[in-house]
Structure 1
Amino acid sequence: MRKIRLGLCDDHNLFRVGMSSILNQVHDFELIVEASNGKELIDRIPRKTPDVLLLDLQMPVMDGTVTADYLRDNFPLVKIIVLTMHDEDRMVLHLLEKGVSGYLLKDADEGEVEKAIRKVMDEGVYLNDFVSKAMLRKMTNKNKVVKPLASNGLYNRKILISDREKEVLTLLCEGLSTNEISEKIFLSPRTVEGHRLRILEKTGTKNTAGMVAFAFRNNLV
């Protein structure tokens, strides 16, 4: 069985040492690249490209947001889990829309970090309780005007989705996998995946996490 190749990018040495120790204790995890900022990571990642990257946001030289943009354009197969102290709802949705696959606070325990990595590898997205609550708060306050952090063309867009697509989208927002949705609404996994790909195209998002964030941001569910 091939190990899950991991990357870690954070400017705090003690945090990197502690996280490295945690990751190296998991038998099928392999930490192949570490960096203290985005520039270091980008210099190293062509030679050692991870499956999943744990990425800090606030770093010198090149921060996590700029790094995520670069990776999405140049290494789209790298799945990014943001690991940060920021817990602002708008930041969560903004980063998910930019294409990150998961969002963890730095006080997450070891079990949640491992769970997030496996979930992202298996399903392409990890939506923990914090992210789900952020989205729920967005739904309960959807009549309030909330300015996005940046204008990227994804906010307040009007799109048309079919009833079946909306059903699939709603279940994706609940955290169900393609196979779980298939069993729940009696469609083949291939058909469910076709609906997911069409929704991605219509929303202009890059992955399931971004699509889910888009759905909540634009009141599609």
Structure 2
Amino acid sequence: MPTLKLAIADDHELFRKGFISMLSNVPDFEFVLEAANGQELLDKMPGHQPDIVLMDLQMPVMDGMQATEVLFEQYPTIKVIVVSMYDEDRFIIHMLEKGVHGYLLKDTTPDEVEKAIRRVADEGFYYSDFVSRVMHRKMVNRLPANKHPFFPNATNVGLSNREQEVLQLLCDGLSTSEISDKLFISSRTVEGHRLRILEKTGTKNTAAAVAYAYKNHLI
């Protein structure tokens, strides 16, 4: 089993050290760097590039929002999971629209943290039940699409019927293999549909595509 290289950026040393200690017990997880703020994370990145960064939002010098933007610019293959105490819908939706691959609250259980890291590594995104409810509220709190003529729908974005089905299942939090089983198509076909959805919606990854779908009433 290949080792997953992790990094964490959080200004609370006790939390940071505890998080590292907790996840270091997982045999195929390895922390390659830790940082107390976004700038320190970026300074340490050369030579210690992780697969996934666990990112706090509120930090001195450079916060997690700024650090995430720079990280995606300079290291587009790195995945980011936000780990924050902020449970407000606006923070979560904003970060998903920025392209983060997952959003966890700091009281998340160790089992779910491990599950999130593995899902992001394998599938490129992870939505907890809490985040799924946030995105659902975002959708239902908006007026119907026909009240917003400038919002695109699935048709004028150019999604095929099958791509709409795949997008709906991605929004439901299903993995590639689960979508493959549900639609009776190969995993490679699912991945092809996913890539075309990203291209047509102009989004960077699955997490951003799902946020886009809720925001623009594509589902």
Question: Which residue of structure 1 lines up, in the alignment, with residue 203 of structure 2?
Answer: 205
The answer to whether the Cα contact below 8 Å between 2:53 and 2:81 also exists between their aligned partners in 1 is yes
**TM-score of the aligned structures, taking structure 2 as reference length:** 0.92
- 2: CA distance, partners of 1:107 / 1:27: 23
Alpha-carbon distance, 1:176 to partner = 1.3
SS of equivalent residue, structure 1 residue 47: coil
Alpha-carbon distance, 1:107 to partner = 1.1
1:186 maps onto 2:195 in alignment:
no
Question: Which residue of structure 2 lines up, in the alignment, with residue 162 of structure 1?
Answer: 160
SS of equivalent residue, structure 2 residue 46: coil
SS of equivalent residue, structure 1 residue 216: helix
The answer to whether the Cα contact below 8 Å between 2:152 and 2:218 also exists between their aligned partners in 1 is no
Letter in 2 for 1:214: Y
Alpha-carbon distance, 1:157 to partner = 4.8
The answer to whether the Cα contact below 8 Å between 1:165 and 1:199 also exists between their aligned partners in 2 is yes
Identical-residue share of aligned pairs (%): 58
**TM-score of the aligned structures, taking structure 1 as reference length:** 0.91
- 2: CA distance, partners of 1:22 / 1:110: 7
- 1: CA distance, partners of 2:182 / 2:107: 34
SS of equivalent residue, structure 1 residue 175: coil
- 2: CA distance, partners of 1:115 / 1:193: 21
1:17 maps onto 2:11 in alignment:
no
1:58 maps onto 2:58 in alignment:
yes
- 2: CA distance, partners of 1:42 / 1:89: 27
Alpha-carbon distance, 1:95 to partner = 0.8
- 2: CA distance, partners of 1:137 / 1:38: 30
SS of equivalent residue, structure 2 residue 5: strand
Alpha-carbon distance, 1:117 to partner = 0.7
The answer to whether the Cα contact below 8 Å between 2:37 and 2:59 also exists between their aligned partners in 1 is yes
- 2: CA distance, partners of 1:196 / 1:29: 27
- 1: CA distance, partners of 2:69 / 2:138: 24
Deviation sequence 1:4-52 (CA, Å, 0-9, x none): 1100000111111111111111111111100001111111111101111
Question: Which residue of structure 2 lines up, in the alignment, with residue 174 of structure 1?
Answer: 172
Letter in 2 for 1:71: L
- 2: CA distance, partners of 1:156 / 1:131: 23
Q: Give the 3 Å change call, closer, same or farther, for CA 83–166 of structure 1 in structure 2.
A: same
Unmatched runs of 5 consecutive residues or more in structure 1: 145-154
- 2: CA distance, partners of 1:219 / 1:88: 21
Alpha-carbon distance, 1:164 to partner = 1.3
- 2: CA distance, partners of 1:188 / 1:117: 24
What count of residue pairs does the alignment treat as equivalent?
212
Q: How does 1:89-104 map to 2 (within 5 A)?
A: 89-104=89-104
What RMSD in Å do the two structures reach over aligned CA positions?
1.7
Question: Which residue of structure 2 lines up, in the alignment, with residue 143 of structure 1?
Answer: 143
Deviation sequence 1:156-184 (CA, Å, 0-9, x none): 45523121111110011111122221221
Alpha-carbon distance, 1:98 to partner = 1.0
